[in-house]
Structure formats: C-alpha cells, structure tokens
Amino acid sequence: MARPAYEETVFRLAAWDFAWDIERSLEFALFRTYAVPSISGLLAKTGEFERRPRKRYDDTELILSEMVEHGIDSARGQAALDRMNAMHGAYRIANSDMLYVLSTFVFEPIRWLDRFGWRRLTEAERDDIFAYYRALGARMGIADLPESRAAFDAFNRAYEAEHFRFADSNARIAQATMDLMLGFYAPRVLWPLGRPVMRAMMDPPLLAAMGLKPAPGWLVALVHGGLGLRARALRVLPKRRRPHLLTRVRRPSYPGGYAIADLGTFPDRS
C-alpha cells in the first residue's frame, strides 16, 4: 500500500536530505520538553532517564523511526505506535503536555533547518511535516489538534511562554541528557568542554528553565558560524548515495538487535 505523500516527504527529509540535521534537531526537541516541570517531573519520578538514559533515548528514537521509515500504517509502524500508546497509557500525562511534545517534533526541525540547513525547506515540505505529525497525533489519541500549521506554531510558542519554569527535575533531567548527548561524540574527560557548546545552542528561556548559564557570546558565534560553514559546504558536496536508517544503527542498549515489543518504559508493578 502506498504511503501518503506527507509520509514520503518526512522519510526523504529524515533519511536522505537532512539526516544529520533532523536527528540533531529532534534531540534538542526532546531536550526542550524537559524545560516543562510536569514533563521532567514524570521522567524524574520513573527514574529511568537517570538510571538508563541511553536506553530511553534509543527506545524513543527507534519507535519514532519505525513509523517514519516503514509508514505509520505499516505492520511495523502499527506495532511501534501500539507500543508507544501502551507506554503513554501507563502514566497520567496531560493532553496539553502530549500536544506540546508533538509540536516540538514539527517546529524544532523546521527552525533548525532555517538556521543551519544547507537549504531552506519549501512551504510544501513544512506543510507535510505538520500533516505527518498531526496524523500521528490523531492515532495517539491527542485531543485539540490544531487545524493549521500556523495555529500549531502559535500553540507551541504560547505553551513555552506559560510553562517554561525552573524546577529541580528540569535540572536533573537536563544534566543526564547533556551527558548522554556528549557521550555520543567525546570521552567523558572532554565533557566539561562540550557542555558550553551545548549551551551555545540554547535560547535564554530554555537556559533559565534548566538552571543553566548562557554560553559566552564568542562561543555562540563560533558554534553557529561553524554550522553555517557546514551548510555552505554541503551545498557543493555530493549528495547522499544511500538512506540513513536509524533503525539499522547499532546501539549499545540492544547489542543483539531489538524487538519492537521490548521498547519503552513502563511502571514497575513488582
């Protein structure tokens, strides 16, 4: 069965055109949600993110990637969706929090690519990203999904203005997340050097909600300038010759491979 055009667009952007950028932007999208105390508080309560941050990261990325790569309505996509819905259903999560997290998956990649992409997204591509995640949100049972991309963008900005507040749980989850992300690129001894670089990618409301100090202005300029140089280089370099499929990346959480039924975090009923 052919996938909807918006699913083909999201797959092309994530696996071909902007594989590195979209993966990074979605990492920061999830990080951004931890600036909301009700969201970080739930993560801190389960303890999973601090005990096994890499597994939780892998589970989230794999569940979302199964749907992007195979289609939401494919057999694997449906299995991943069912697993995600079962996991969310095991906790009390406000609809507004679910809606906000969904909105970050739409707008953080768009905003990242506006700043650092080797080209800007077309309006049709932006609309397809919105259509994809709106369809996913409907299958997740999220209520009050906005009818337009502009309305969803307005919700995203208003929600952050109202709900970004400092909390100890924000700071705890932020620290665990930063350590996890730094571990992708550098040995632990270099993490103190990497933390200011990560802060250089964060805006003032996010920094304040996480209890983090702003990076020096010269470092912000250096990091953003470096990403700008990368974008210009990519415009003239050969394009990707094979798709980057996140479901095929080897992961320490699942050294022997994974089953969709094993993904996710559930309450301890023992």
Q: Which residue has the tokens 């990203």?
A: 129
255 part of a folded domain:
no
Domain that holds residue 196: 5-238
Can you tell me the distance from the alpha carbon of 120 to that of 142, in angstroms, rounded to the nearest whole number? 29
70 part of a folded domain:
yes
Q: Which residue has the tokens 């952007």?
A: 13
82 part of a folded domain:
yes
225 part of a folded domain:
yes
Residues 6+ positions from 210 with CB-CB distance below 8 Å? 34, 35, 166, 170, 171, 174, 202
pLDDT tens digits, residue range 232-264? 999 999 999 999 999 999 999 999 999 999 998
Burial of 250 per CB tally in 10 Å (0-12, 13-18, 19+): exposed
- pTM (2 decimals)? 0.95
268 part of a folded domain:
no
229 part of a folded domain:
yes
What is the count of structural domains for the chain? 1
Answer whether residue 168 shows pLDDT above 70. yes
Mean pLDDT over the full length of the chain: 95
258 part of a folded domain:
no
247 part of a folded domain:
no
pLDDT tens digits, residue range 83-134? 999 999 999 999 999 999 999 999 999 999 999 999 999 999 999 999 999 9
CA angle 90, 93, 98 (to 5 degrees): 115
H helices of the chain, in order, are 5-12, 19-33, 37-46, 48-51, 53-70, 75-89, 95-116, 123-139, 149-163, 168-183, 191-199, 204-210, 217-236
Can you tell me the distance from the alpha carbon of 32 to that of 178, in angstroms, rounded to the nearest whole number? 12
The pLDDT of residue 268: 67
